[in-house]
């Protein structure tokens, strides 16, 4: 995966996670499976892009408030 594809994938995952957090409000429903399914991306890419699902969620929250 080249850098441009990686950035596009990360952006898609962030947008999808943000949408699911807004939709569900309950973070326990924002699973890796839900994020990947809505984004149309294969498994393991969250780990490749962010390390952990929790790191992805943290980046979503940082987008709301960069001081986090």
Confidence of residue 62 (pLDDT cuts 50, 70, 90): very high
In angstroms, the CA 63 to CA 5 distance is 21
Residue of 68, 36, 63 whose CA lies nearest to 49: 36
- Residues 60-67 have a mean pLDDT of 84
The CA distances from residue 46 to 22, 39, 67, in Å, are: 19, 11, 24
- Residues 15-35 have a mean pLDDT of 91
In angstroms, the CA 4 to CA 24 distance is 30
pLDDT given at position 68? 67
Q: How many helices (H) and strands (E) does the chain have?
A: 4, 0
């Amino acid at each position: 995966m080249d850098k441009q594809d990686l950035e596009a994938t990360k952006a898609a995952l962030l947008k999808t996670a943000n949408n699911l957090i807004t939709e569900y409000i309950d973070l326990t429903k924002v699973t890796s499976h839900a994020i990947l399914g809505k984004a149309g991306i294969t498994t393991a890419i969250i780990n490749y892009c962010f390390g952990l699902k929790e790191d992805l969620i943290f980046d979503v929250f940082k987008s709301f408030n960069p001081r986090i």
